Amino acid sequence: MDFVHLLMHALIEIPKTTTSMPITYYLPKNTTMDGSLTPFLFYPQASGHIIMPAGLTLSFHPLPTYGILYVTQGAGQISFGGRQYALTGNSFVFFDGRDGFTFTAGNHLEYDLLYFNGSPAQCYYDELVRIGGIYISSLSSSGLNSYLRPLLPSGTAYVSPFAFHRLLTDFLSELIDYSTATEPGTSVPDYLRQLREYLDDNFFKDITLEGLESLFGVNRYRICREFRENFDQPPLQYLHGARITKAKVLLAETNLKIHEISYQVGYENTNQFIHHFKKITGWTPAAYRERKR
């Protein structure tokens, strides 16, 4: 039985809605993967962009799955494992479906949803529960967007099993690092959170320390020092990492030429792009693309 049929059977009751949409409209789509690899890797089960009308509730009996939910707009609530979390724009939840779970739309609610499993899942989940990292009220302020984007529904159907495992491992590892750095008793200055979000959303632009200094009204030397202290690397190194993360997705999933990808991720000089790509990944862009295919 495929995963979406499991979801259907796990529904505690089929809710009545004010729309004519069948219940499958509010469920994700199956994601296929080589079953022989599932004992060893993270693997996707289903994903989709879900739009729930006001007042709709979906409650599920326990299922062997974990989920990543990212709200794009609206408001609602998710409940699982005896916990309840508010869902608002840009909020993120990593949930465990083994004790059952419920989604409720307070008003119009839209979110990206990925169900997955695999032998490493419980280890990551338990650690994030321990350090308080399974819920983030605003992911855009965390700097994790660039790691999450390739895993969202628009990306999961196109990656290989090993690529999916790597992308999810990278994201959950970064989530642990972020949650550890922001445990109670620590404080990241607001301007640094905003600066990191700016880098995540504008990596394709020509960004300089002088420009950041002018934009945020903070001395460039202070920016470099405090960014390194809080995020373990200077801002321009972080920028290169965000660019290369996007470039890896484009190399694996498109037929764009190397110089076209270079330009799209913010490098006008292709040699500079190749230099940074190899420095960060250990591969040239062409070799990385060949390896992925």
Please give the Cα distance from 174 to 144 (Å, whole number). Answer: 7
Better pLDDT: 42 or 140: 42
Confidence of residue 155 (pLDDT cuts 50, 70, 90): very low
Same domain, 41 and 175: yes
Please give the Cα distance from 212 to 140 (Å, whole number). Answer: 18
Same domain, 142 and 233: no
Q: State in Å, rounded, how far the first CA of the chain is from the last one.
A: 30
CB 139 within 8 A of CB 100: no
Domain harbouring 218, CATH code = 1.10.10.60
Same domain, 164 and 210: no
Mutual angle of helices 270-281 and 285-292, in 10-degree steps: 60
Same domain, 164 and 234: no
Domain harbouring 71, CATH code = 2.60.120.280
**Model pLDDT, residue 48:** 92
Q: Which residues of 258-282 are buried (b: 16+ CB within 10 A; e: fewer)?
A: beebbbebbbeebeebbebbeebbe
Same domain, 152 and 275: no
**Model pLDDT, residue 194:** 86
Q: Which of 181, 201, 227 is the last residue of a domain?
A: 181
Note the pTM of the prediction, 2 decimals: 0.63
Residues whose CB falls within 8 Å of the CB of residue 132, separated by 6 or more in sequence, listed in order: 179, 183, 184
Same domain, 160 and 26: yes
Q: Which of 137, 157, 181 is the last residue of a domain?
A: 181
Same domain, 118 and 217: no
171: enclosing H helix or E strand: helix 161-181
CB 102 within 8 A of CB 15: no
Same domain, 54 and 143: yes
Q: What is the pLDDT of residues 41-62, one digit of tens each?
A: 999 999 999 999 988 999 999 9
Residue type, 6: L
Q: Which of 156, 181, 206 is the last residue of a domain?
A: 181
**Model pLDDT, residue 182:** 57
Same domain, 246 and 165: no
**Model pLDDT, residue 197:** 86
Q: For the residues 204-213, what does the mean pLDDT come to? A: 93
**Model pLDDT, residue 64:** 94
Q: For the residues 12-30, what does the mean pLDDT come to? A: 82
Same domain, 195 and 85: no
Q: For the residues 151-174, what does the mean pLDDT come to? A: 81
Same domain, 216 and 172: no
Q: Please count the structural domains in the chain.
A: 2
Range of the domain at 271: 190-292
Same domain, 163 and 203: no
